């Protein structure tokens, strides 16, 4: 696989995994539009590299948050963030909120990787969730911080994350929207969304790595691509997380609503024309 394709897709993965615009939609549609038919792009090796990169970005950025959350959940005091200090149940709330995506991901894994990757499904979900984000922006009271997340909030956001197994939905898009509907402010909704995505991505990466080992391990001709893809996704992902959280302190999600709807219409139009 040419390294420029590895780098482009690793950057796209990081941008679209953390921004509310759907990583799967972009990683499926972009190679089709560019005529990149290399089977390695859809290989398990490359998929793991991208997921490991984005997981590394999350762990690196939220390392001290996770340290406080885990220690707090075990009854050990660690002062890092005042808001997290307000909610020492957060570890268990995140664990419970992860259950829906684990269950539905297991049940519908085959469909998510085959029939649901239709351009029509992707385009429709891009538009539909764009509308959901718009409604969440209008309905959200933006009053609660992450320290005020309740069991009901966590389960509602966790249930919404399960919908992200459908290509085009966007894990961050649907979970941030659920957070806004539950009254969280934008920054808190995004922060909880990213924390919640960490165990889900870790579980998906471990499952994929297990499948890879059953197939004989990493292909020798994919080692450079694996390293480059993971490294680029990690560095880009860290930057995207930092910039997006900064952006949400003073901006709405309206731009992403417009982007999703326009992109969704384009995807459906290209599918009708036989181009995607």
- Please report the pLDDT score of residue 221 as a whole number: 76
Which of 34, 276, 50, 37 lies closest to 168 in space, CA to CA?
A: 276
Q: What is the CA radius of gyration of the chain?
A: 18
What would the mean pLDDT of 1-22 be, rounded to a whole number?
91
Q: Are 222 and 40 in contact (CB under 8 A)?
A: yes
| Chain segment 205-226, per-residue pLDDT in tens | 888 777 778 877 777 777 888 8
| Chain segment 42-84, per-residue pLDDT in tens | 655 677 888 899 999 999 999 999 999 999 999 998 888 999 9
pTM value is 0.93
| Chain segment 84-132, per-residue pLDDT in tens | 999 989 999 999 999 999 999 889 988 888 889 899 999 999 999 999 9
Q: How far is CA 255 from the centre of its chain?
A: 18
Report the C-alpha gap between 218 and 233 in whole angstroms.
Answer: 18
Instruction: Enumerate the H helices of the chain as residue ranges.
Output: 3-18, 23-34, 44-61, 63-73, 82-85, 90-107, 109-113, 119-139, 151-162, 171-181, 186-214, 223-248, 254-272
């Amino acid at each position: 696989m040419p390294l420029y394709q590895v780098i482009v897709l690793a950057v796209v993965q990081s941008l679209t995994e953390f921004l509310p615009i759907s990583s799967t939609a972009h990683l499926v549609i972009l190679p089709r539009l560019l005529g990149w038919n290399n089977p390695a792009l859809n290989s398990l090796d490359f998929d793991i590299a991208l997921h490991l990169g984005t997981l590394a970005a999350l762990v690196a950025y939220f390392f001290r948050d996770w340290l406080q959350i885990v220690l707090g959940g075990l009854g050990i005091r660690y002062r890092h963030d005042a808001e997290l200090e307000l909610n020492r149940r957060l570890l268990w709330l995140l664990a419970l909120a992860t259950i829906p995506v684990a269950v539905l991901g297991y049940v519908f894994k085959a469909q998510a990787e085959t029939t649901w990757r239709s351009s029509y499904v992707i385009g429709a979900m891009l538009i539909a969730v764009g509308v959901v984000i718009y409604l969440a922006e209008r309905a959200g009271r933006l009053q609660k911080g992450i320290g005020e997340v309740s069991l009901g909030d966590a389960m509602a956001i966790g249930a919404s994350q399960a919908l992200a197994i459908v290509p085009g939905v966007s894990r961050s898009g649907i979970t941030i929207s659920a957070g806004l509907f539950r009254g969280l402010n934008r920054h808190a909704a995004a922060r909880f969304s990213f924390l919640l995505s960490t165990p889900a991505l870790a579980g998906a990466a471990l499952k994929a790595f297990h499948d890879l080992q059953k197939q004989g391990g990493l292909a020798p001709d994919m080692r450079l691509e694996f390293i480059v893809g993971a490294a680029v996704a990690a560095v880009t992902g860290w930057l995207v997380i930092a910039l997006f959280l900064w952006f949400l302190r003073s901006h709405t999600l309206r731009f992403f609503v417009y982007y999703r709807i326009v992109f969704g219409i384009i995807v459906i139009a290209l599918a009708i024309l036989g181009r995607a």
